[in-house]
Structure 1
Amino acid sequence: MSVNTVDRFQGQEKNIIIANLVRNWNSKDSHRMSTHITSFERINVAFSRAQNLLVVVGAQNLFSKVPVNLRAMDSADTRKLKVYSGIMSRLNQKGCFFPSSCLIDEPTAEKIKAEYKEANQNRGKKNYNNNKRFHKNNNREVKA
């Protein structure tokens, strides 16, 4: 098994590829999308190197709206198309598109989210207490 970025994967092929597109933005942040997501060349590399199975993990509602830059074949012009939407539509028509609910049921997902939220809150408290202890210990006067 190997893990790589799209750029480092150029020219390689694997039996199975899992493309991780897990990322969510606020609608206000949509202008700051990574070129890994909006560049057709990178999408082509990510999605065309699987020999037997391609698994794409990502937020359907987000990616179906993402405009991708496509270069014209006969000029230097570019145009923006919602490529992911078309890919997802074709996969869905072929019966190859599965929602996350087929992998994990809603109660389990909610339980995991709650545990994650609690762990982050506890981590924040722990960091706060560690910082407080650090400052307390470093503010002591050193007596000779």
Structure 2
Amino acid sequence: MRFSKRVQYGLVFLLQLHYSWPEHRSVKELAESDDLPSKFLEGIAADFRKFSIVNVKRGAQGGYSLAKPLKEITFLEVLRCLDPEWERQNKNSSRENRTSRKEAVSSFLNQTSGSVDRVFGEIFLDVLPALNVQDEGLMYYI
């Protein structure tokens, strides 16, 4: 399964905020640290704020911080926040004439979608720090 750049960059953004918690960090600073497009990251940060995933603090010492720990944020929340198409594809509001075959396929797709949502709703982002291998922390013995 492939995910959009918004979702990928959004996860990097949340991981960055996890490491800097409880301090606030600016989008510019976060974008530069992982070579991400600043304007793109601003949009992602705004969406996270609307969904109460991050807090924003205005002013010279301001920026973004996590509103809750990664262990309380699910992958499904991130998908719904950053990928509006994810929500739209799960809602079938077509008013076309339906045959029994179309109904069967629609039912199958709705069930499959529900299963995927349940799985993604059980994946919490606290697994990200364990997957992040930072070169600075590695020690090599010869």
State TM-score, norm by structure 1: 0.27
State TM-score, norm by structure 2: 0.27
Higher radius of gyration, 1 or 2? 1
